[in-house]
Amino acid sequence: MINYVASELDPLILFADNHLLAVNKPAGLLTQDSGTGLRNLEDWAREWVRVDKNKPGDVFLNAVHRIDKVVSGVVLFARTSKALTRLNEDIRKRNCKKIYHCLVEGQLKKPADTLVHWMTHENHRARICREGQKGAQRAVLSYRKLPDIGKFQCLEINLETGRYHQIRAQLAAMGNPIAGDEKYGARQKSKSGDIALHSRELYITHPTLKEPIKIEAPYPANSPWWF
């Protein structure tokens, strides 16, 4: 059985109230239980709520969205069924905004652009395909160049759709794979297997207060990429 120490999550808490909990997920940690029994953020966050809020029984906590194991940054959890239902509806209607930062290899053809592809996925990999192909989904993101970090070019990504490995596959198709992302053609990797993709900002409407909220995740301090 995995032992989750609630207090160790404290430095990663970005926002918490009676309805929401946002955490800065470390790269290398699953968002949710994958059925493998590996350590995951949702169970850790559930233990944090149980201890911090002194809840002896079952704790309601569900991830509103997920990010890949090799990716760091904002993950939002709903602490009530009402919050989960309303946030899921907002995501379905695209009434939220997700901003990612990433470091890429290669030379950019344009400092800013909108990428539109059709994508499928199988065998844990996304593939660019033709419109109309079986299972194809439209994938859209926009990016702009930020100041370089080290030897890499840094991009800000506004994710308009949320397809499987979308950012990773679209940037690779553009000729600029994310640093560390060997699966999509990157030459440079980290010893930990993490990639230089960070869920930087999340903009939502609070499910009960109906007020806009911006949640921002600092770059991971122990990352080989960001400093």
By annotation, the residues acting in catalysis are 68
Bridge partners, 63 (sequence order): 77
Domain containing residue 64: 6-216
Q: What's the CA gap between 177 and 187, in Å, rounded?
A: 9
Strands (E), the chain: 13-16, 20-25, 62-63, 72-78, 97-104, 112-122, 125-129, 137-149, 152-159, 197-205, 212-216
Residue 225 domain-assigned?
A: no
Write down the pLDDT at residue 188: 83
Residue 1 domain-assigned?
A: no
Write down the pLDDT at residue 85: 97
Q: How many angstroms from the chain centroid is the CA of residue 74?
A: 6
Residue 175 domain-assigned?
A: yes
Q: Which residues of 151-190 are buried (b: 16+ CB within 10 A; e: fewer)?
A: ebbbbbbebbebbbbbbbbbbbbbebbbbbbebbbbebeb
Residue 222 domain-assigned?
A: no
Residue 227 domain-assigned?
A: no
Total domains in the fold of the chain:
1
pTM for the complete prediction?
A: 0.94
Residue 221 domain-assigned?
A: no
The CATH number that applies at residue 155 is 3.30.2350.10
Residue 223 domain-assigned?
A: no
User: Measured in Å, how far apart are the chain's first and last C-alpha atoms?
Assistant: 35
pLDDT digit of tens for each residue in the chain (227 aa)? Answer: 788 999 999 999 999 999 999 999 999 999 999 888 889 999 999 999 999 888 878 899 999 999 999 999 999 999 999 999 999 999 989 899 999 999 999 999 999 999 999 999 998 899 999 999 999 999 999 999 999 998 999 999 999 999 999 999 999 999 999 999 999 999 988 888 899 999 999 999 999 999 999 999 999 988 888 87
The contacts of residue 136 (CB under 8 Å, 6+ apart) are: 118, 119, 120, 129, 130
